[in-house]
């Protein structure tokens, strides 16, 4: 059940704002023209989030641009979309979210073979000082890479 993976959208902001503890792959319930628009790469998950309601998982705020040739078949670009997960996975996530400080965030949207998938992450929010530490760490790594390149060139 493998197949090639074609990345459609990535949520870099989630890695900046949250500690990602677990990752999970879920299918998305889409309508015809939404799939065509996704294949063209017209999707954004920057401001989106995941919620569990009545034992079902929903994705809010994911923007899929309307398909140009879809006219009356196009759906609302910001409509709520259902994520397809096994009951056991949903129950496990519900238990973890009830713990204080945990949330579900979409990390990326991609096609696995012909199926549209979303990678969701069980995340804990970062404080301001955590973000500063991450930025400092990245700066140090960048400097080390620069030094390494200069040393190897001479």
pLDDT (0 to 100) of residue 65: 81
Instruction: Express each pLDDT in 110-146 by its tens digit.
Output: 988 888 899 998 888 777 777 788 888 888 888 888 8
Q: pLDDT band at 152, cuts 50/70/90?
A: confident
Could you tell me which residue, 152 or 20, shows the higher pLDDT? 20
All structural domains of the chain: 5-126 (2.40.280.10)
pLDDT at 98: 84
Q: Residue 38 pLDDT more than 60?
A: yes
Q: What is the pTM of this model?
A: 0.73
Can you name the residues that pair with 120 across neighbouring β-strands?
24, 106
Question: pLDDT tier at 72 (50, 70, 90 boundaries)?
Answer: low
- The pLDDT score that the predictor gives to residue 146 is 81
Predicted confidence at residue 41, as pLDDT, reads 82
Tell me the pLDDT band of 37, cut-offs 50, 70 and 90.
confident
What local confidence, expressed as pLDDT, does residue 86 receive? 92
Tokens matching residue 96: 């973890």
């Amino acid at each position: 059940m493998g197949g090639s993976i074609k990345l459609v959208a990535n949520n870099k902001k989630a890695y900046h704002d949250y500690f990602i503890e677990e990752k999970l792959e879920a299918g998305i319930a889409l309508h015809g023209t939404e799939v065509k628009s996704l294949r063209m790469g017209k999707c954004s998950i920057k401001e989106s989030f995941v919620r569990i309601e009545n034992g079902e998982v929903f994705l809010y705020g994911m923007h899929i641009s309307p398909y140009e040739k879809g006219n009356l078949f196009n759906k609302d670009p910001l409509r709520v979309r259902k994520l397809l997960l096994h009951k056991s996975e949903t129950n496990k996530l519900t238990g973890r979210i009830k713990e204080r400080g945990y949330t579900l965030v979409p990390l990326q949207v991609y096609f696995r073979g012909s199926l549209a998938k979303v990678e969701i992450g069980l995340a804990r929010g970062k404080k301001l000082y955590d973000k500063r530490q991450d930025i400092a760490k990245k700066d140090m790594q960048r400097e080390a890479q620069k030094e390494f390149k200069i040393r190897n060139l001479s």
